Amino acid sequence: MKTEYVADLTATKINHGVTPDLAGCHTAVVEGYVIEGHVPAREIYRLLEERPAIVGLSVPGMPVGSPGMEGTPVEHYQVLTFDRNGRREVYASY
């Protein structure tokens, strides 16, 4: 495993197909998939088990109630899949 801390993630996001509307505050690449924002661990494990033909998962913004964003009132949010053709689908709803 390689960990690289980058002060400005703009280039990393662009290189991995993360558009501004998908952006969160964290970007990771896990086994070739991009994980953008506060994606719950259970969805990352599911992604790695299912291995769909997508670029990655995103939780845009920083919704209260997502992992690492505990607080009230809890916001409902969605985990989205995305690919290089601009397609998005809801992978999970919280």
pLDDT of 65-88, one tens digit each?
899 899 989 999 999 999 999 899
How far is 74 from 43, CA to CA, in rounded Å? 19
Helix, strand, coil shares of the chain, percent, nearest 5, are 20, 30, 50
Q: What is the edge-to-edge ordering of all strands in the sheet holding 88-93?
A: 27-30, 33-37, 56-59, 78-82, 88-93
pLDDT at position 69: 92
Q: pTM of the entire structure?
A: 0.89
